């Protein structure tokens, strides 16, 4: 698999060629301000000691405090976290929020830990990094496999260590712990607002057939949101495999099925077993809109040529390699890039942070009334910028973001 950070840097090389940026700004964006590795000892339920490796990468804080989630995954490593932190810097700039880019992680499969072990590990991450993070310095959030409950443990640990009671050190908290209404669905909802803003220009102003890879927070919410807007969800997959029905899947029933059985495969709709497909087949589904909502590097030069979607909206971070981007561009497949498409999550994280610092509580409607224009305006700006530079939307988003960072240096 291509290293995610090399992919991120290949994207940076590409934009540097297209826009003729000053060498200094490109040089600054080539490495993080700092990357920190910590070891986190945890006494397991059986009394043995395990040491986990944790990370925080503070990439760039020109626009504001470092901002970005914490990922728990067995294959998480510092290079992946660095790439994700780089993309966070651009993402915050694309949507014009006063935040920089950071990311964190722990190399762990959280699914094999008990709740007590998971809590100790999460509190341990904060204990090791409490002097690095802070409401005005570096504000983490959820990412793959990290939940509101984990954010609440972390906020509590930070308060114990520092006495800070604002809760603004971390976002994505449960509502009762100072979280914002709308944060749980914000990534998918933001992607939908971006899609709505661009659908006419992209020729998708119709009932679309949609395929979604990933059925976690982003993917499952996207399935619900697109379906309730009248679109047809023809395929979804989780980490194991997928299901395909050209007449449309019943998302609500599928969510219940996944909850009960732990997988989407095996789903029965109206008494008929729905066709099982692999994750690779899902990506190659004939559809109007493909939404990768899982991991990096799933569309590469190996399979880009087989993609049949008209438009791809990246709810995952980094799902398409730089080489695949070129193949898709030549096939006239439009990619709505991660740094725009999934920025609804960090946008509402920013709203949460803002509410915490002002001790305010916005309604669900207030949150989405702020999110919708932010996403629509950013999407339109990205589209215009790409058009003016005769490039794809990813490069349009990169140009917009880098210009904003450069102006604030
Ligand atoms: N992990 C999410 C992302 O990749 C959200 C980050 C945040 O809310 O700070 O955008």
Residue by residue, DSSP assigns 327-369 as HHHHTT-EEE-HHHHTTHHHHHHHHHHHHHHHT----HHHHHH
pLDDT over threshold 90, residue 406: yes
Q: In what order do the strands lie in the sheet with 34-43?
A: 34-43, 49-60, 101-107, 66-73, 138-142
pLDDT over threshold 70, residue 284: yes
CA–CA gap between residue 372 and residue 318 (Å, rounded) = 23
Residue 396's beta-bridge partner residues?
none
- Pull the structure tokens for residue 175: 């509502």
pLDDT over threshold 80, residue 11: yes
- Pull the structure tokens for residue 328: 């898709």
349 lines ligand 1 (CB under 6 A): yes
pLDDT over threshold 80, residue 156: yes
State which H helix or E strand residue 100 sits in: none
Question: pLDDT tens digits for 338-349?
Answer: 999 999 999 999
Question: pLDDT tens digits for 189-223?
Answer: 999 999 999 999 999 999 999 999 999 999 999 99
CA–CA gap between residue 357 and residue 369 (Å, rounded) = 20
Residue 233's beta-bridge partner residues?
210
Torsion angles phi and psi, residue 173, rounded to 5: -75, 155
Question: pLDDT tens digits for 343-384?
Answer: 999 999 999 999 999 999 999 999 999 999 999 999 999 999
pLDDT over threshold 90, residue 302: yes
Residue 390 CA to ligand 1 center (angstroms) comes to 29
Q: Quick one: which of 193, 325, 212 has its CA closest to 277?
A: 212
CA–CA gap between residue 149 and residue 174 (Å, rounded) = 7
DSSP state of 146: -
183 lines ligand 1 (CB under 6 A): no
Mean pLDDT, residues 110-125 taken together: 98
Residue 72's pLDDT band, with cuts at 50, 70 and 90, is very high
**Would you call 289 helix, strand, or coil by DSSP?**
strand
Q: Quick one: which of 181, 151, 144 has its CA closest to 315?
A: 144
The residue to mutate among 349, 355, 378, having the most atoms of ligand 1 within 8 angstroms of its beta carbon, is 349
Domains of the chain, earliest start first:
31-165 (3.40.50.10860), 186-341 (3.40.50.720)
Query: pLDDT exceeding 70 applies to what percent of the chain?
Result: 100
Mean pLDDT, residues 391-400 taken together: 98
Residue 97 CA to ligand 1 center (angstroms) comes to 13
pLDDT of residue 2: 75
97 lines ligand 1 (CB under 6 A): no
What region does 19 belong to: left with phi over 0, alpha with psi -120 to 50, or beta? alpha
What mean pLDDT is reported for the chain? 97
Q: Quick one: which of 295, 100, 289 has its CA closest to 194?
A: 289
Please report where in the chains the tokens 């094999």 appear, as a residue.
112
Q: Which atom of ligand 1 is nearest to the CA of 348?
A: 8
Mean pLDDT, residues 261-286 taken together: 96
- Report yes or no: 93 and 400 within 8 Å, Cβ to Cβ: yes
Residue 1's pLDDT band, with cuts at 50, 70 and 90, is low
143 lines ligand 1 (CB under 6 A): yes
Residue 257 CA to ligand 1 center (angstroms) comes to 28
Give all strands (DSSP E) within 74-182, no chain letters.
Answer: 101-107, 138-142
Residue 270 CA to ligand 1 center (angstroms) comes to 37
Torsion angles phi and psi, residue 69, rounded to 5: -75, 180
pLDDT of residue 132: 98
Query: pLDDT exceeding 90 applies to what percent of the chain?
Result: 99
Please report where in the chains the tokens 């609804």 appear, as a residue.
344
Q: Please, is 171 exposed, middle or buried when counting C-beta atoms within 10 Å of its C-beta (0-12, 13-18, 19+)?
A: buried
**In whole angstroms, how far apart are CA 143 and each of 147, 207, 240, 316?**
8, 31, 19, 10
Residues 6 or more apart whose CB falls under 8 angstroms from that of 24 comprise none
- Report yes or no: 341 and 219 within 8 Å, Cβ to Cβ: no
CA–CA gap between residue 12 and residue 281 (Å, rounded) = 30
- Could you count the other beta carbons within 10 Å of the beta carbon of residue 74? 12
- Pull the structure tokens for residue 341: 């498409």
CA–CA gap between residue 151 and residue 271 (Å, rounded) = 40
Residues 6 or more apart whose CB falls under 8 angstroms from that of 185 comprise 221, 225
CA–CA gap between residue 108 and residue 113 (Å, rounded) = 9
DSSP state of 317: S
Question: pLDDT tens digits for 313-340?
Answer: 999 999 999 999 999 999 999 999 999 9
292 lines ligand 1 (CB under 6 A): no
342 lines ligand 1 (CB under 6 A): yes
- Pull the structure tokens for residue 253: 């029933």
- Dihedral of CA 146/149/155/161: which sign? negative
Please list the active-site residues: 103
pLDDT of residue 31: 97
**Would you call 8 helix, strand, or coil by DSSP?**
helix
């Amino acid at each position: 698999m291509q290293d995610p950070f090399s992919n991120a840097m290949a994207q940076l090389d590409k934009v540097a060629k297209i826009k003729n940026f000053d060498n200094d700004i490109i040089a600054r964006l080539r490495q993080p301000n700092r990357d920190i590795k910590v070891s986190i000892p945890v006494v397991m339920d059986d009394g043995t000691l395990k040491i986990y490796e944790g990370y925080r990468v503070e990439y760039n804080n020109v626009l504001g405090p470092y901002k970005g989630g914490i990922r728990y995954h067995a294959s998480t490593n510092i290079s992946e976290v660095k790439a994700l932190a780089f993309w966070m810097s651009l993402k915050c700039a694309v949507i014009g929020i006063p935040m920089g880019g950071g990311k964190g992680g722990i190399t762990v499969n959280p699914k094999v830990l008990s709740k007590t072990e998971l809590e100790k590990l999460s509190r341990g991450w904060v204990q090791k990094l409490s002097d690095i993070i802070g409401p005005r310095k570096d504000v983490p959030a959820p990412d793959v496999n990290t939940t509101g409950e984990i954010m609440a443990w972390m906020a509590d640990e930070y308060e114990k260590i520092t006495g800070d009671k604002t809760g603004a050190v971390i976002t994505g908290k449960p509502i009762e712990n100072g979280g914002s209404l709308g944060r749980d669905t914000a990534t998918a909802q933001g992607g939908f607002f971006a899609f709505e803003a661009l659908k006419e220009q992209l020729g998708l102003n119709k009932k679309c057939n949609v395929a979604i890879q990933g059925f976690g927070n982003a993917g499952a919410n996207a399935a619900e949101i697109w379906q309730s807007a009248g679109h047809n969800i023809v395929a979804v997959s989780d980490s194991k495999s997928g299901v395909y029905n050209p007449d449309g899947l019943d998302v609500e029933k599928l969510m219940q099925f996944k909850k009960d059985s732990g997988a989407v495969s095996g789903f029965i709709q109206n008494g008929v077993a729905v066709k099982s497909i692999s994750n690779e087949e899902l990506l190659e589904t004939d559809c109007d809109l493909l939404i990768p909502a899982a991991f990096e590097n799933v569309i590469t030069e190996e399979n880009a040529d087989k993609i049949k979607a008209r438009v791809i909206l990246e709810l995952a971070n980094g799902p398409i390699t730089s080489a695949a981007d070129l193949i898709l561009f030549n096939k006239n497949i439009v990619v709505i890039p991660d740094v725009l498409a999934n920025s609804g999550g960090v946008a509402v994280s920013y709203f949460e942070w803002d509410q915490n610092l002002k001790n305010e509580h916005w309604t669900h409607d207030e949150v989405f009334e702020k999110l919708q224009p932010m996403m629509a305006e950013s999407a339109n700006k990205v589209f215009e910028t790409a058009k003016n530079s005769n490039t794809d939307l990813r490069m349009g988003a990169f140009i917009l973001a880098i210009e904003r960072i450069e102006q604030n240096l």
